Amino acid sequence: MASDWRDKKLYPLLGILLLSIFLYFNLGSNPITFPILWQSHMDFVSANSTHFIIVNPRAPLENQSTFYINGWNSYWLMQESVWAGPSRSRVSKMLKKGAEMGLTVCRTWAFNDGVEPNALQISPGVFNERVFRGLDYVIVEARKHGIRLILSLVNNLSNFGGKAQYVRWAQEAGHNVSSSTDSFFSHPMIKDYYKAYVKAILSRKNSLSGVKYAEEPAIFAWELMNEPLHPVPLLPFFRHGLMRWLLLSRVWIRNI
């Protein structure tokens, strides 16, 4: 009797459940991926007055553990994760080695703008899903090894697109934009391009784990720009577009 019940009811239900999970993670995606159903547990990190704490929802505030930042920079993780094989193995080994050395945070890039084959953002709001899946892999591997990430969102320099690429996009769209890359900080259309990009990143659902980037504890922080520089150091702090941009961006990114 029990065997009949398993054959007629339980197994079909399990089959439907697994199919539903499979479709949930692959709806509209190409190529097909198989989700990671179990991930390493990781609590969020939060600021508490003068230090960072690991937020354990099961413990009172006074018993929260202090989180110490001890990290390194590997800007290339997403680029090396675009294709499966030896390059992804290099990423895994780097994160594993960092964890073995007692490091806790890795800073890496979550941008590559332009027309090159491994660009993440091909044009404003248009993404290369293959590259996005590479970033998905980086995040999953970081969490697997207990490493938290600082993800940088655009380059101040022209390498990998950067703010110069945003200026070119606005010019190509017919907007009256100065060739100076400082237009990135002041032109309304360019600021909209950047905001849309950041929103797409934070709203991204990881193709491997199903976790939205904005809800991923392995992402320690978002860096608004890689190496932002003040080109005219004698200008008052609030007058330069970069400083205003940093302050305003800090506010709206928290509300996404």
Cβ pair 188, 182 in contact under 8 A: no
Confidence band, pLDDT 50/70/90 cuts, at residue 31: very low
Cα separation, 218 vs 59, whole angstroms: 20
Residue 32 maps to a domain: no
Rounded mean pLDDT of 76-103?
97
Q: What is the DSSP string of 136-159?
A: HHHHHHHHHTT-EEEEE--BSSST
Residue 12 maps to a domain: no
Residue 118 maps to a domain: yes
Residues 100 and 143 occupy one common structural domain: yes
Residue 18 maps to a domain: no
Quick one: pLDDT at residue 48? 84
Residue 14 maps to a domain: no
Residues 202 and 177 occupy one common structural domain: yes
Residue 46 domain boundaries: 39-68
Residues 82 and 49 occupy one common structural domain: no
Residues 59 and 164 occupy one common structural domain: no
Residues 80 and 125 occupy one common structural domain: yes
Residues 62 and 119 occupy one common structural domain: no
Residue 191 maps to a domain: yes
Tally of domains within the chain:
2
Residues 125 and 229 occupy one common structural domain: yes
Quick one: pLDDT at residue 49? 81
Pairing of strands 105-109, 71-73: parallel
Residues 51 and 171 occupy one common structural domain: no
Residues 57 and 75 occupy one common structural domain: no
Quick one: pLDDT at residue 141? 98
Residues 247 and 162 occupy one common structural domain: yes
Residues 55 and 107 occupy one common structural domain: no
Rounded mean pLDDT of 205-234?
90
Burial label for 72, CB within 10 Å (0-12, 13-18, 19+), is: middle
The CATH number of the domain where 119 resides is what? 3.20.20.80
Kindly report whether the global pTM for this prediction surpasses the value 0.85: no
**Backbone torsions φ then ψ of 36, nearest 5 degrees:** -85, 115
Question: Residue 83's closest CA among 137, 127, 24, 159?
Answer: 137
| Last residue within a domain, chosen from 18, 51, 68 | 68
- The rounded radius of gyration (Å) of the Cα atoms in the chain is 21
Residue 24 maps to a domain: no
Question: Residue 250's closest CA among 213, 222, 219?
Answer: 222
Residue 228 maps to a domain: yes
The overall average pLDDT reported for the chain is 87
Residues 148 and 246 occupy one common structural domain: yes
